[in-house]
Amino acid sequence: MPQRPLKTAELQAVLWDVDGTLAETERDGHRVAFNLAFEALGMPWRWEVADYGVLLQVTGGRERLLHDMARRTDAPATARERLMLVEELHRLKNHFYAEQVRAGAVVLRPGIAVLMGQCAERGVRMAIATTTSRVNVQALLRAQLGSRWASWFEVIVCGEDVRHKKPDPEVYLKVLTGLKLGPLQALAIEDSPGGAAAARAADVPVVVTRSVYFEQAIFDSAIAIGPGLDRRDGWRPALSGEGRDPGDPVSLDDLLDWHAQMDSVSQLA
């Protein structure tokens, strides 16, 4: 299908979340790496798939560890000891996560690379808006996009760059400042209720591409919700099937259309 030209009043930038959005990092990456860190320190703790889904209600790896320790009778007794253990576990987790990524255990979700390529080709700016650690972002995107991965994104804001993690809007406000754009000139792509809430609190419209852990979650005020960027069926609002196969990926033109119609489709749940 012919691509329609961009207009200056249209969408100017796509803001990408990382964990769950770019790749299924939570289930297949971070969770496994945490378990390897526990094992490396001789600890009997293990986070199963379902356990980790509950823990994802807490944003941030360090915060998740502290939350989990609060319920454990074999956790260190003092706050100082817990913080020291958290730092060591998190350091080891990042090491094991990077090893998994390099080994190909974590890859971009289908449709991501295609859509990024369309943005690059047609002058839609891109940014990273995540509260995961920078080292984890670097490990994933270097493995998937190559050594010049950072050149794809004009602004990259990670967990170390903010005081407050999602659902606080700080990460999105910093990205918008870096891009020198207003919130309605951008579009966030997220997978979790907390991430979507962070974008909306910054007045950035959101497209939700559901990840494994949030397949049944309820989202407020997204302009579109669907199962993944690699397919056209299952999206609300429905994507046009004219001249398309249901198995075709979501395109930049689809994002432009959703963005243009945001006032009429912003109350999906």
| For residue 75, pLDDT beyond 70 | yes
Number of domains in the chain: 2
161 is catalytic: no
Same domain, 207 and 234: yes
Q: What is the pLDDT of residues 197-219, one digit of tens each?
A: 999 999 999 999 999 999 999 99
Which pLDDT value is given to residue 245? 75
Same domain, 224 and 131: yes
| Least confident piece of the model among 158-162, 237-241, 247-251 | 237-241
Whole-number average pLDDT of the chain: 92
19 is catalytic: yes
The burial class, CB within 10 Å (0-12 / 13-18 / 19+), for 62 is middle
| For residue 156, pLDDT beyond 60 | yes
| For residue 243, pLDDT beyond 60 | no
Question: What is the CATH number for 254?
Answer: 3.40.50.1000
Same domain, 135 and 241: yes
**Which of 71, 102, 133 marks a domain boundary?**
102
| Cβ density class 1-30: b for 16+ within 10 Å, e for less | eeeeeeeeeebbbbbbbbbbbbbbbbbbbb
Cβ-based neighbours of 96, under 8 Å, separated by 6 or more: 32, 33, 36, 37, 40
Is residue 207 one of the residues assigned to a domain? yes
pTM, 2 dp: 0.89
Q: What is the pLDDT of residues 104-144, one digit of tens each?
A: 999 999 999 999 999 999 999 999 999 999 999 999 999 99
By residue range, what is the domain housing residue 179? 13-23+107-260
Confidence of residue 4 (pLDDT cuts 50, 70, 90): low
| For residue 265, pLDDT beyond 90 | no
| For residue 90, pLDDT beyond 70 | yes
- Cβ neighbour number for residue 49 with a 10 Å cutoff: 12
Same domain, 62 and 140: no
Is residue 267 one of the residues assigned to a domain? no
Same domain, 50 and 140: no
Same domain, 206 and 190: yes
Cα 103 from Cα 192, distance rounded (Å):
26
Same domain, 141 and 35: no
Is residue 4 one of the residues assigned to a domain? no
Using alpha carbons, list the distances in angstroms from residue 194 to 20, 21, 197: 12, 13, 5
Cα 37 from Cα 43, distance rounded (Å):
9
Helical pair 134-145 and 79-102, crossing angle rounded to 10 deg: 0
